[in-house]
Structure formats: C-alpha cells, structure tokens
Amino acid sequence: MNIPIILAAFGTSTRAMAAYDDIDAYYKKTFPGHDIHWAFTSRMVASKLRKKAGREVLHPYQVFDLLSQAGHEWAVLQSLHLTCGHEFYRLVDDAKSGLIRISMGLPLLSSPEDCMEVAGILEPLFQGPKDQAVVLVGHGTDHPAWSMYTAMASVLRKTYGEKAFVGVVEEGIPEQEDVVREVKDKGFKRVLLAPFMLVSGVHFEEDLAGEEDSWKSAFEEQGLQVELHAQGLGRNPKVTSLFSRHTMGALDMVQPS
C-alpha cells in the first residue's frame, strides 16, 4: 500500500529553499515506496513563492483534496516545525477536517530524547575557542511550547557547559537583551551566532545578521566579536534523519483498510 507522505513547513523566501530541496531529496531516498508531497502552512509565504519562484505551492487542505481525488484513504503528515506550537496545532486541525485519514509525524523537538539528539548534532558549533560563546536563536512563540526553548538551553548547557546559550527573535524567552547581558557578564569575548530554525531565511538575514537592530549589532555594541553561522537546521542531514524517524513512527500507526 503506497501511503503518501506530506511534508508540511511554514515556508520561506526563495533564497532559503535549498533546505527544503535537501529534505525532499533525503525523503525520496529514504522512503522510495512512498510519494512525497509538500504543503506550506503560511498562505502569505506560499503566495510569494508562487510569484517569485514559479513553484506549485499548496496549503495542506489542498494536498488532502488532491490525494482524496486520487483514491488515497490514508496519508502521513510530517510536521517540519521545531516545536508543538501554534503552527503544529493548526496543522492538526487541518488534518482533522481533511477528506482522508491522517497519521501525524511529530515536530523535531517532541521529547527529551529529541533534545539530547539535537544537542549532539550541534556539537561542531561548540568546537571553537574557550572565549567564544555559542548563541542559537530560534523563532519563539507565546504558545506553552515556548518551554521547549528553555529545555533545549538546559540540555545544551549540560552538554557543552557555560558557552551554550539559546534565545528567540519574537515571543517568549530568553530575550535578546537578557542573553546579550549574560554572555557579556560571563566574560566571553567572541560569539558564534547561529539560527535555531529549520531554514536560514528572513529572520536570519534581518533579525540575526542585520546591520541595525539585530542580534549581531547588539553583541557588537557590547564590544564582542561576532561570527555568523548561516546554515539552518534543515541543511543538516542528521536533523532530517530525526524527522524521518518521526515519519516512520507515523507510518507504523497507519491502519490498512
């Protein structure tokens, strides 16, 4: 039975689409007996991609409809979000209202084991000099899932010591001001600044690496030397492997007719 796999992401600018291309190639190689489809949860981003890149960009409910019309009764919907926040639960609501039965693949950070595995994947970032802090900056959320950022910070600190920091660009904590102050107070002279996001898109270009009102400029104003790591998590095949194991778990839940 060919169970389609739908990869659902928020969406990104055309410059950061390479991460999705990498994930797509990985899934097609890992799941050769399954058709791979894409859905984007942000209507605004989807509209921009259609105009700029000429890509076929569909919302999840549109993919459900197409698969139903093709005769499918089941599909796996793999969330490519980092946490079980607002976007994930909107995806769950879409799945409940679709015309086919859906088995959900959980986001990247859905268990303590996920956090520990991701911490291990990030080990190369922590190989710099002792006076270099490593600051990972995520999107943030006002959903109760915000606690996953502090959980991840705790795991990283336990794994790599005092040089590990996590912050967010929007809602939630830890905020920029607090992270910058803590890095400064701990005596670090340099910072490796990296996106804790699936793709390195507009948030990285403007909020992290921008010349004004950015994380980079905030550290530089405190006299710290900043090195940028521009690669999002989606470019790392070990991260995609973790997503794929969540997908395998969802496939195991499919009940053939």
Please list the active-site residues: 139
φ/ψ (deg, to 5) at 253: -85, -10
Amino acid at 198: L
Measure the CA–CA gap between 227 and 36, rounded to whole angstroms.
37
The answer to whether the annotation marks 203 as part of a ligand binding site is yes
Measure the CA–CA gap between 211 and 208, rounded to whole angstroms.
9
The answer to whether the annotation marks 170 as part of a ligand binding site is yes
- HSE-CB at 69 with a 13 A cutoff on CA atoms is 6
Q: 177, exposed or middle or buried, with CB in 10 Å at 0-12, 13-18, 19+?
A: exposed
Answer yes or no: are the C-beta atoms of 159 and 119 closer than 8 Å: yes
Measure the CA–CA gap between 245 and 237, rounded to whole angstroms.
12
The answer to whether the annotation marks 34 as part of a ligand binding site is no
Q: Which residues are annotated as a binding site?
A: 139, 170, 203
Q: Which residues are annotated as a binding site for Co(2+)?
A: 139, 170, 203
